[in-house]
Structure 1
Amino acid sequence: MKASTYQSVSATPGASPPRQHPISRAGLLSKLFFHWATPLLKLGNERQLHPQDIWPLESENQCSVVGRAFEPAFNKSRSIVWTMMSAFGWQWAGIGLMQVGTVFCGLYAPVVLRQIVSSMESSSFDLTQSLQLIASLVVVRIVSSLLSAHATMQTELIGFKVTSALQHLLYQKTLQLDASSRREKSSGEISNLFSNDIPTIVFFSTIFNQLWILPIQMTLTLVLLYDVIGWATFVGAVVIVLTLGLNQVVSLGIQKNFGVMMKQRDVRMKAVNEVFGAIQIIKLNAWEEKFAEKLAAMRAVELSALWRIFAFMTVSVILLYLGPTLITLASFAAHTMLQHEALLPSKLFTAVSLFTLLKYPFSSLSFIISTTMRALVSIRRFKEFLDLSEKKTDNVLTPLTIDANRLKTFAAQDVAVAMTDATIGWDAAKPLFDKINLTVQR
């Protein structure tokens, strides 16, 4: 096997220069066609990759950098959505423009198809013009592929940054919770935020642009359909509106039951942690079956909500596959039976091509809406956790936070611990000690 020194680590400490991400020194064409990733792909084809083979993160993608930019913005707005918009808004806008360009490139194919088929239907077939149209279609397809690849890469980077930012906020908040908040939120509930809510919000951040791009794509497709089959397009549009209305009802049902399921999951995880914390007492008193029944009852409520979610999703899938077929049948039926016009090959093939393009936004819209509904539930749960009360760090001074003069005074008196007018207790409403003044010397 061929030996490789790609991104190798020198045996002598300090002998090798700091490693850099290859995109930082890549040229324009290398960035355009992702040539900067070729060495790693070649190495992976030769042997198994090792951790030292992987490039270091770019500075703007590191958690410390993302967290420093995200946390102050959140503390100012107290809104996760607005903070993400302020932190990543321009990147989302760039991704959206690339995705819109991909939509326009996709709509170019039916236009070329109609021109070529119409030319073949006419008495004079212009071969040169047809070849030019085909060549332009190839170029547009290449541009579409590049735009799609770069949009996908930037979307993944956005998801990576949102993950880092939310985990940073969650870790920081967990360390700053006061005693009452720690009693209110168990470790199981915090674990649910990590394992369920953050991935839901991150996935929403990767499909955020589709909320406004898909309606644009559907509108442009319907405009092109109107140019092909006339007002019969509106019959298909009516079917679309009816189907989207049903999808909206289904999405609201998914959102409601998703909230119920997540709330019940928190209750169950809290109970599980309490059971494991007192497992010795439970075993000693032979209470296993009793607590198992309680946990099973909680799980049954959670599964009931989950079953309703899948029932709504089943209806959504039925509408997903049935909708495009109904739209096509309704439009063609109106064109032939009501307009009394023949379906010429140029109209038929172009309309079928446009209906095929219409299938993706139509099928994706219901999924994106339901995902958005779940993300809103997760954002609300995440926000409730971030709004919990925190420890008042200014009430406790340490050698690192106290001013120099007071530190010298305490040091001169050999004071280890000092309390002035302190209120101490587990519950703020029922303190154990009030207005305590205490000095402990070394």
Structure 2
Amino acid sequence: MMKTGVRIQNVLTDAVFHKTLRLSNTARKGRTVGEIVNLMAIDVERFQTLCQQSQQFWSTPLQIILCLIFLYTVLGLAFIGGVIVMILLIPLNMIVSIKVKKWQSLQMKLKDERQKMTNEVMNGVKVIKLYAWEKPMLKVISEIRSKEVALIRKASMTRTFIDVINSASPFLVSKII
């Protein structure tokens, strides 16, 4: 599945690249260079990830059913307490995942905005130097980057927290059983 995912990513990146080369000037005004680069770098990667994880759609329910059967044969009805704890952790994971996804979306918008500003600065470097706007432009770009880093940090800390909870859940389940 990994090879298929990489092939899909390569084909989509190539398609976006060739489409970008054929864009007319009017169509190019609607998209910034940063948005196109993000499309090739990040959005296309989602298809690769989807391809790698597609087998989980059918295998996960089967694995859950088999695990429940094995737990019942080994522990009897005592396994129900552990299953309840695991079920109670599902909403927590969902809430955290939704928040992290929202933060990542905001971070991507900030990244697009920062790349757009950086591109504008690079294209207008003569004017910026002429009017001595280096510091104000650097300040604007740095503020955008600070917001972006804050969102990345918040999402990383939240992911770390949920990873700790998920790692501790087997011990929690064994304590209950």
TM-score, normalising length from structure 1? 0.38
Could you tell me which residue of structure 1 aligns to residue 95 of structure 2? 249
Does the Cα contact within 8 Å between 2:5 and 2:47 map onto a contact in 1? no
Q: CA deviation at 1:163?
A: 1.4
**For 1:122-176, what per-residue CA distance to the aligned partner results, in whole angstroms no more than 9, with x for missing partners?**
xxxxxxxxxxxxxxxxxxxxxxxxxxxxxxxxx1221122112211321232133
Secondary structure (helix, strand or coil) at the match of 1:230 reads: helix
Query: What amino acid maps onto 1:221 in structure 2?
Result: C
Cα RMSD over matched residues?
1.6
Q: Which residue of 2 aligns with 1:440?
A: none
Contact 1:247–1:319 under 8 Å retained in 2: no
Q: Does 1:311 align with 2:157?
A: yes
Aligned to 2:142: 296
Larger RCO: 1 or 2 (CA < 8 Å, sep 6+): 2
Matched, 1:164 2:10: yes
Counterparts of 1:84-95 in structure 2 under 5 Å? none
Aligned residues: percent identity?
Answer: 29
SS where residue 132 of structure 2 aligns?
coil
Q: Supply the AA of the counterpart residue of 1:161.
A: R
Partner of 1:219: 65
- 2:36 aligned to which of 190, 196, 207: 190
Name the structure 1 match of 2:173: 327
Alpha-carbon displacement from aligned partner over 1:27-65 (angstroms, at most 9, x marks no partner): xxxxxxxxxxxxxxxxxxxxxxxxxxxxxxxxxxxxxxx
What letter matches 1:294 in structure 2?
A: V
Q: 1:319 to 1:215 in 2, by over 3 A?
A: farther
Which of 238, 241, 249 matches 2:84?
Answer: 238
Unaligned runs of 5+ in 2: none
User: Which residue matches 1:204?
Assistant: 50
- Distance in 1, matches of 2:138 and 2:41, equals 24
CA distance in 2 between counterparts of 1:217 and 1:240 reads 15
Higher share in strand: 1
Max radius of gyration: which structure?
1
State how many pairs are aligned. 177
Matching residue's letter, 1:267: E
How far apart are 1:198 and its partner, in Å? 2.1
Other-structure match for 2:21: 175
CA contact (8 A) 2:104 2:152 kept: yes
Which letter maps to 1:307? R
Residue segments in structure 1 that go unaligned for 5+ positions in a row: 1-154, 332-442
Distance 1:288 1:304, change over 3 A: same
Bigger fraction of residues in helix: 2
Against the structure 1 CA distance between its residues 219 and 328, is the aligned structure 2 distance closer, same or farther, given a 3 Å change threshold? farther
**Cα shift readout 1:50-82 (whole Å, capped 9, x = no counterpart):** xxxxxxxxxxxxxxxxxxxxxxxxxxxxxxxxx
Partner Cα separation in structure 2 for residue 321 and residue 232 of structure 1 = 21
